[in-house]
């Protein structure tokens, strides 16, 4: 199309056009954001300052908290600023950066959760070899691999999306820039892009999902062979927070990306966006600290 106009900015979906509700949205998001910041920063500080927590499990947990801080900081502050300033605009470069960074943090999060499942598998199924297998060099390599995987995944998806020209509209039916909403605005037929996106995402997510499932099948087999009920309870309690976090992450993501697409703005789009972009980073510190005595003790020592 020779008469296409170049998109220089996008309009995000607002939570309301009523000024009072915009202020309410700002306040609610501010409270959620500050709670997430405080929870994850406390986890990071507790792990960094308490020598008893300088173990592989807490090293990965610290990385997970950094990812949660990053993912929520990419989306929520911009939405808060738009509500406060009564605007919906996000510039094209800012939208590219938001997609790139959010995908980086989210995909690295999933890769790291897979590594954490392997860590639990080695700890419970091969406890005598744990220190040798999960030495600091191996932990750093695993964490670095998770970050590199997330970056490659993010860069490929972002480049594939923004190489398309946009002309149907510049209105996104979400409170932040996300790829499914951007593909709806593409001028050219985005069928191949959507197919490639789905295939690559399915390959990545299913690989991580299968590795997590295989790890936990082996873990449960080993736990059920433990003779004492107290030993079984202790083993299960170390795995339960990780299982809850994985379930929360995958379920909210699946609901968002498998729900029916619509070109019209919908309250469901906003709610699903909040469910998978805001809720998991906020709840993860609570989930990990609730059933973990070592984290509780470190946090108590830090805050007293």
Q: Above pLDDT 70, what percent of the chain?
A: 89
pLDDT at 2 over 50: no
**Selection from 4, 215, 5 nearest residue 118 by Cα:** 215
pLDDT tens per residue across span 167-223: 767 888 888 998 888 888 877 665 666 677 778 788 888 899 899 999 988 888 888
pLDDT tens per residue across span 29-58: 999 999 999 999 999 998 998 888 899 989
d(CA 185, CA 48): 45
pLDDT of residue 259: 59
pLDDT tens per residue across span 259-287: 555 555 556 777 878 888 888 888 888 88
Average pLDDT, rounded, for the chain:
84
- Sequence-distant (6+) residues with CB within 8 A of 38 are none
pTM: 0.88
pLDDT of residue 168: 66
pLDDT of residue 199: 80
pLDDT of residue 107: 93
- Average pLDDT over every residue of 79-87: 91
pLDDT tens per residue across span 109-141: 999 999 999 998 998 888 889 999 999 999 999
**Selection from 76, 57, 61 nearest residue 245 by Cα:** 61
* Beta strands, E only, 76-173: 89-91
189/63: higher pLDDT: 63
DSSP string, 67-86: HHHHHHHHHHHHHHHHHHHT
Question: What are the helix (H) ranges across 169-266?
Answer: 179-183, 191-224, 229-258
Domains parsed from the chain with CATH numbers: 9-303 (1.20.1070.10)
pLDDT of residue 271: 80
Burial class (CB in 10 A: 0-12, 13-18, 19+), 125: middle
pLDDT at 225 over 70: yes
């Amino acid at each position: 199309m020779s008469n296409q106009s170049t998109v220089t900015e996008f309009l995000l979906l607002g939570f309301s056009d009523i000024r009072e509700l915009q202020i309410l949205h700002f306040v609610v998001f501010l409270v959620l954001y500050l709670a997430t910041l405080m929870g994850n920063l406390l986890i990071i500080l507790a792990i960094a300052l308490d020598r008893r927590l300088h173990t592989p499990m807490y090293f990965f947990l610290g990385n997970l908290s950094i990812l949660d801080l990053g993912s929520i900081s990419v989306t929520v502050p911009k939405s808060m600023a738009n509500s406060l300033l009564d605007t919906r605009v996000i510039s094209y470069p800012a939208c590219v950066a938001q997609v790139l960074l959010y995908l980086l943090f989210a995909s690295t999060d999933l890769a790291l959760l897979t590594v954490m499942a392997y860590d639990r598998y080695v700890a419970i199924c091969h406890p005598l070899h744990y220190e040798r297998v999960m030495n600091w060099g191996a932990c750093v390599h695993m964490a670095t691999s998770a970050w590199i995987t997330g970056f490659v995944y993010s860069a490929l998806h972002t480049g594939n999306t923004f190489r398309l020209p946009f002309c149907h509209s510049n209105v996104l039916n979400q409170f932040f820039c996300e790829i499914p909403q951007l593909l709806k605005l593409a001028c050219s037929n985005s069928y191949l892009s959507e197919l490639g996106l789905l295939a690559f995402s399915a390959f990545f997510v299913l690989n991580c999902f299968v590795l997590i499932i295989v790890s936990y099948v082996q873990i449960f087999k080993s736990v059920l062979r433990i003779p004492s009920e107290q030993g079984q309870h202790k083993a299960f309690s170390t795995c339960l927070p990780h299982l809850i976090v994985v379930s929360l992450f995958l379920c909210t993501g699946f609901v968002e990306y498998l729900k029916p697409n619509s070109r019209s703005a919908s309250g469901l789009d906003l709610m699903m966006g909040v469910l998978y972009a805001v809720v998991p980073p906020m709840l993860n510190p609570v989930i990990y600290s609730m059933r973990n005595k070592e984290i509780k003790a470190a946090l108590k020592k830090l805050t007293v």
